[in-house]
Amino acid sequence: MHGRPTTQSLGDTHASHPNRWRILGVLVLALLVTSIDHTIINVAMPRLVGDLGASSAQLQWIVASYTIVFAGLLLTAGSLGDRFSRRHALLAGLLTFLGGSIVAATAASTTALIAGRCVMGIGGALIMPTTLSILVNVFGDPRERAKAIAGWTAASGVGIAVGPIVGGALMRSFSWSSVFWINVPLVVAAFIGALQLVPDSRDPHATRLDPIGAALSIAAISTLVYAIIQAPERGWTSTASVVNFAIGAAIAVVFVGWEMRRDDPMLDMTLFRNRSFSAGSIALALLFFAMAGTVFLQAQYLQFVLQYTPLAAGFALVPAAIGMLLGTGAGAHLAEMHGGRIAVTAGTVIATAGVAVQAAFVDGGSYAPTGIGLLLFGLGAGVAMPAATEMIMATLPPARAGVGSAVNDTVREFGGALGVAVIGSVAATSYATSMHGKLDQFPNLTASDRSLLVNNVGAAIHASQHLGAQATEIEAVARTAFVDSMHSSLWIAVGLAFCAAVVTFTQLPRQAANRGAHDRHGSHGAAAHGHHRPHAATFEAATSTEVSPS
């Protein structure tokens, strides 16, 4: 039945596409565009305030609109790609992302800019799951597929880290619109490459559409992500937050019930009974929780406490990208030798150590704990995430790779959004509490001044400039309060990253190393490594989903 696991999974060997490595280059380029856009907008915020008069609420929506639409549509977009055409879904996503970028770049108001970001979110939702589902279909050899997934994962992480650097460099010479114009040449190059190289594939046994399931999934995920993003500002226990979470949870329950009743579900809920699928998803969610929350605080720490420029702060985050690149190679070797369970567990332990270094040693005066901690976290994430992704995808038949990829991407988005919201909220509460006590030594401050100073460290530093002789001392107090809040908040990230390690070690199944599987399928491995390169016809016959790429 459509959507049910079959005996042939992505962990099995099948014929590879002859142009698979060139196809991977196109897929990585397409993925980089969506990853960079998650963070590049942050450095343009001050310009948006000056040029468009954006309020704090509007700035939040400029950032959140992309994430909400992107996360909400992932599952439906992956399902549509499986059913109709992964290649066409990728091309449609690139064109949509291009159109949204142009709308955003030419926006004359915050409303138009938010609309453009929403359109970009639609394009990103079509692109991201499609790239991974195409990858696992064109790479038939398990060893090569593991390396390709490692490259895909590294590209995603590097794109997020590179975003602030690219944005900071652009802001030195161009207007805020340049952070959207930069997408144009990248998307055009990816579109041309996809037209020329990417083959078509789809689920050959697809049955009828599930519009009710699609609508429920969009509503549930969008509502929950919106609630998570808004909760720190409104309060986690406020009426609005509780109502939003309740509505999202209720819709999610209805979605699960609907899918379980169908013979041909869009998302087969029995997949979550598979420990590789469920434990791998939990591990990814927790890792992204820790990563997003840590980077959120470090971006403020670097600029407001260490007083780095936006560009310098972007470069200061590079160790995470370097660690991830190094980790993907080491992780692929570790998984090949000892299995995915060991690779994911080892990676999460290293990532936990990276956050712990920052939580324990950040002192407000040195970059070293941040740099070392980010390097270790990136190294651990690079080791763990490709193996976790491969284990998730290996539970599905190739025809359903789009939905599997969408689930993989959705849990990452959930984890990241929740990490920023929870860790940011805890840090803000801790900072405000600390500042209330510390400001008692300045009895001449007005109620308005106190309100600004306890809001956040950036507002405090800006407001203190108008407080005369007390300015320097108040700035120092605000920076100290922020560093103190980082310690308590980052220990939460440490705890959840460690939980990821426990979950993976206790719940992921013990697996034989990939090398053993490779040896058992020696003829396929030889073909994949060039001893006998499969022709396109062989790939088509093996996958039964291939059509003309033109």
6 pLDDT higher than 50: no
CA dist 177 and 171 (Å) reads 9
Angle at 317 between CA 314 and CA 319, to 5 degrees: 140
* d(C-alpha 295, C-alpha 450), whole Å: 28
For residues 295 and 321, is the Cβ–Cβ distance under 8 A?
Answer: no
State the average pLDDT over residues 62-91: 86
- Distance between CA atoms of 339 and 327, rounded to whole angstroms? 16
Nearest Cα residue to 540 out of 205, 200, 207, 86: 200
User: Which structure tokens are listed for 45?
Assistant: 């915020």
At 513 the pLDDT is: 45
Average of pLDDT values for 495-507?
Answer: 91
> Of 119-133, 331-345, 450-464, which has the strongest mean pLDDT?
119-133
pLDDT of residue 530 exceeding 70, the answer is no
Across all residues in the chain, what is the average pLDDT?
81
| CB-based burial label for 364 (10 Å; 0-12, 13-18, 19+) | middle
Highest mean pLDDT range out of 7-21, 218-232, 392-406?
Answer: 218-232
Element (DSSP H or E) covering residue 388: helix 368-393
300 and 455 in contact (C-beta within 8 Å)? no
Percent of the chain clearing pLDDT 70 (strictly above): 87
Domain ranges of the chain: 20-199+268-433+480-534, 211-267
| SS3 assignment, position 177 | coil
At 451-474, the pLDDT tens digits run 777 777 777 777 777 776 677 888
pLDDT at 9: 44
Segment 233-259 shows an average pLDDT of 91
DSSP letters of 116-128?
HHHHHHHHHHHHH
Instruction: Name which CATH class applies to 20-199+268-433+480-534.
Output: mainly alpha
Query: Where is pLDDT greater, at 502 or 518?
Result: 502
Per-residue pLDDT, 114:
92
Lowest mean pLDDT among 12-16, 24-28, 181-185, 334-338: 12-16
| Rounded-to-integer distance, Cα 60 and Cα 233, Å | 10
DSSP 510: P
pTM of the model: 0.77
Distance of CA 73 to CAs 68, 148, 250, Å?
9, 25, 18
111 against 47, higher pLDDT: 111
